[in-house]
Amino acid sequence: MKKIISIVVILSTIMIIYGFAIFGNADYNGRTAKQEYATWCVYAVMQMHGGGLQHYYASLYVNNFLNSPNIIDCMYIDYNSLTRTYCVNMAGVKLKDLVRFVNMSHSGLEPVSGVGKIGDCYGPNRYKDLPCLALEVGTYYHALYLVYIAIFDDKMPDESSVMVCIDPASGEKLSLMGNSDKLILR
Amino acid sequence: MKKIYIISITFLLFNCSTAINDNNKKFELGVALTSRQIHVIKDLKEMVLGFTGKSRMTAIPFSFAEILNIDSTNITLLPYYDFDTAIFYEDPSPEKILESLTVSDDLYFAISKDGCLAYSLLAKKKEDSWVLSRFSENWGEVIKWFPEKLQDADSRDFKIFRAGGIEYFLYYKNGKTIYSTNIGQEISEEILCETILESIHRVDENKKYLDSIGVHF
């Protein structure tokens, strides 16, 4: 509790001095990773965060969350058509599995208990460790590696806040505005 | 003799600079801006000025502050399309991908500095003005493979669209439509069709889950 109060006090002070608060690491210069397949965005984010290999995370998901008939190793995608189907076509992590998967992944991501809108998870009196995994939601679901978020004028994250992240699809470093359609694990 | 040297050197220098300019020109993608689009850029600059004003800091920790120097860059408008999942899902097939592309209301700009592609901006209309929605600071580096591909293509026509969270480039070669991710991985129409279908199914499933836990968008 003391820790949370200190963080809130520090952030509020920063906001008063600078006009905005930054959650996360504005100087992030860590590893980047590109997803190996269209459905592997979550695994690439895990690789960025804690190292490891994408096919390891993919195998972990496939063997624990999908009812595959045999143990499948996603390192050998072309072993047979079944492996390709499970490891590529079906391997996109479903939202309902995400919390449990993150908690068992050994990817270094903080343990989480649910998903929520970014606006509900950040603000002057809310705090979460960054960098972390975030999701773009809308006509598609896509995982991003959220490096830092800037919130202006003592507000909750809204159209004026800025989310800086690395897109595992391309390795692009993106600044995104208008964060009403973003999800985060909490 | 001296004169001949001077003339030769001048001639060589001229050719060299022309070659550099030609080399740079090939990195220009998209078309020149209309006066309406120039106004959009002005709106974006105003928006960034608003941010930097709020920051009260001399060193602004946002790479998009680059936009403040946009007047000294070369800006082009990219052919950006929306992927209409409803059209695609009526009768999903590889051929339907092209039919599902509609010209986007959003404006996608490529910015070149010193003749090289640098970054990209996506602007969205919000009420009466335009706002910055997405700034990709290393976009030029990511898509540097593309201008060369376009030179070998049947025409300079290309389209950019986003499906399943991934940005795709479409161009034409040997009479065929070529699809590629923005990092230059070519993808067949059939695989792209499967990938998009899978993404649509996942959206439905995820939406049901979000509804069940009371998170609504």
State how far residue A2 is from chain B, nearest Cα, in angstroms.
28
Q: Cis before residue B61, ω within 30 degrees of 0? A: no
Using DSSP, state whether B60 is helix, strand or coil. coil
Are B205 and A94 an interchain contact pair (Cβ–Cβ within 8 Å)?
yes
The band of A138, judged by pLDDT with boundaries at 50, 70 and 90, is confident
Query: Quick one: pLDDT at residue B2?
Result: 57
Query: Quick one: pLDDT at residue A183?
Result: 83
Nearest chain A residue (CA) to B209 = A96
From residue B206, alpha-carbon distances to B117, B147, B217 in Å are 37, 37, 12
Are B135 and A96 an interchain contact pair (Cβ–Cβ within 8 Å)?
no
Q: How many CB pairs under 8 A join A and B?
A: 126
Residue count of chain B, please give it. Answer: 217
Nearest chain B residue (CA) to A154 = B54
The DSSP call for residue B165 is: T
Are A95 and B138 an interchain contact pair (Cβ–Cβ within 8 Å)?
no
Residues A134 and A149: beta-carbon distance below 8 Å:
no
Query: Quick one: pLDDT at residue B171?
Result: 98
State how far residue A170 is from chain B, nearest Cα, in angstroms.
6
State how far residue A71 is from chain B, nearest Cα, in angstroms.
23
State how far residue A94 is from chain B, nearest Cα, in angstroms.
7
Measure the CA–CA gap between B118 and A95, rounded to whole angstroms: 35
Are A173 and B136 an interchain contact pair (Cβ–Cβ within 8 Å)?
yes
| Token pair 């040997």 in the structure block, residue | B174
Are B137 and A175 an interchain contact pair (Cβ–Cβ within 8 Å)?
yes
Measure the CA–CA gap between B88 and B101, rounded to whole angstroms: 9
Work out the number of other CB atoms within 10 angstroms of the CB of residue A132. Answer: 23
Are B62 and A175 an interchain contact pair (Cβ–Cβ within 8 Å)?
yes
State how far residue A26 is from chain B, nearest Cα, in angstroms.
7
CA dihedral A18, A19, A21, A27 (to 10 degrees): -50
**Could you report the per-residue pLDDT of B127-168, keeping only the tens digit for each?**
888 999 999 999 999 999 999 999 999 999 999 999 999 999
Using DSSP, state whether B205 is helix, strand or coil. helix
Query: Quick one: pLDDT at residue B194?
Result: 93
The band of A30, judged by pLDDT with boundaries at 50, 70 and 90, is confident
Are A150 and B57 an interchain contact pair (Cβ–Cβ within 8 Å)?
no
Query: Quick one: pLDDT at residue A127?
Result: 66
CB of B168 less than 8 A from some CB of A: no
Residues A8 and A16: beta-carbon distance below 8 Å:
no
Measure the CA–CA gap between A129 and B61, rounded to whole angstroms: 19
- If you average pLDDT over residues A83-109, what whole number do you get? 94
Report which of A23, A5, A39, A14 is spatially closest to residue A131, judged by C-alpha positions: A23
Q: What is the ipTM of this complex?
A: 0.84
**Could you report the per-residue pLDDT of A144-179, keeping only the tens digit for each?**
999 998 887 656 556 678 899 999 999 999 999 876
Work out the number of other CB atoms within 10 angstroms of the CB of residue B88. Answer: 20
Are B132 and A19 an interchain contact pair (Cβ–Cβ within 8 Å)?
no
Which tokens go with B79?
Answer: 């052919």
CB of B194 less than 8 A from some CB of A: yes
Give pLDDT < 70 ranges for chain B: 1-27, 54-60
Which tokens go with A166?
Answer: 């690395």
Which tokens go with A122?
Answer: 């950040």
Strands (E) in A51-171, as ranges, are: 115-117, 132-137, 141-152, 162-167
